Structure 1
Amino acid sequence: MAGDWRTDVVDHLRGLIGQGAPGVEEEAKWRKASNPDGVPTFALDGLICTVETYKDKVKVTFARGASLDDPAGVFNASLDAGTRRAVDVFEGDDLDEDAFVSLVRAAVELNRA
């Protein structure tokens, strides 16, 4: 996947998550034959989010996203889920970085509450 747009998006998201959650711990989980690298998970005082790569998008799923305020409308997937909310990023998308970082910060605060 080297040189793939999805790799660049994941790296960029990783940096934004770090801005919103200084000291965040990243761990690869759920490794399997079809995904030997596993799924990157990001935690600080509890799970914040996972980042999954698909053929046409990168999906950031916030573990407790349904409990987060999203005034900028960053969440665009899993909107009917009871607990989670997700952000699907497609090639060429322009993510509202400040709003995304704010969601990460809010997720950390929720974990600490």
Structure 2
Amino acid sequence: MADWRSTTVDSLRHLIHEAAPGVTEEVKWVKASNPDGVPTFSLSGLICTVETYKDKVKVTFAKGASLPDPAGLFNASMDAGTRRAIDISESDMLDETAFGELIKSAVALNES
């Protein structure tokens, strides 16, 4: 994958590492239909996963339903009991500051 999705994933990866120094990144769930696997980010527990689809990049926060989201970044998995996600399409502009705050809040929740 060498298109807007890979650029978006690289940007997200940078933002996550910047907001959560010491975060562990692993690639999980590699299979024929998804040879790149799914990047997962953990610090004192799972923070989020980053998945690529044909028309979007999805960042799923493991405990998103318990996180404050004053900027309203969550726009997917809103009915899930625990998770919340951000779907990013090619034309979307992510509020990087608010995203960093979500990452920091997720780490703080994991550490509480």
Bucket of the pairwise TM-score, normalised by the shorter protein: over 0.9
Q: Distance in 2 between matches of 1:69 and 1:10?
A: 23
Structure 1 gaps of 5+ residues are none
Q: Distance in 2 between matches of 1:65 and 1:19?
A: 19
Matched, 1:100 2:99: yes
Deviation at 1:19, TM superposition (A): 1.5
Q: Distance in 2 between matches of 1:70 and 1:92?
A: 21
RMSD: 0.6
Q: Distance in 2 between matches of 1:71 and 1:31?
A: 34
Please give the residue correspondences for 1:3-22 in structure 2 after superposition, counting only pairs within 5 Å: 4-22=3-21
SS in 2 for 1:27: strand
Deviations 1:77-109, CA, capped at 9 Å, x for gaps:
011110000000000211111000000000000
Deviations 1:41-66, CA, capped at 9 Å, x for gaps:
00011000000000000000000000
How many equivalent residue pairs? 112
Deviation at 1:36, TM superposition (A): 1.6
Please give the residue correspondences for 1:18-33 in structure 2 after superposition, counting only pairs within 5 Å: 18-33=17-32
Identity of matched residues, %: 72
Q: Distance in 2 between matches of 1:13 and 1:31?
A: 20
TM-score normalised according to structure 2 size: 0.98
Corresponding residue of 1:55: 54
Equivalent residue letter for 1:82: G
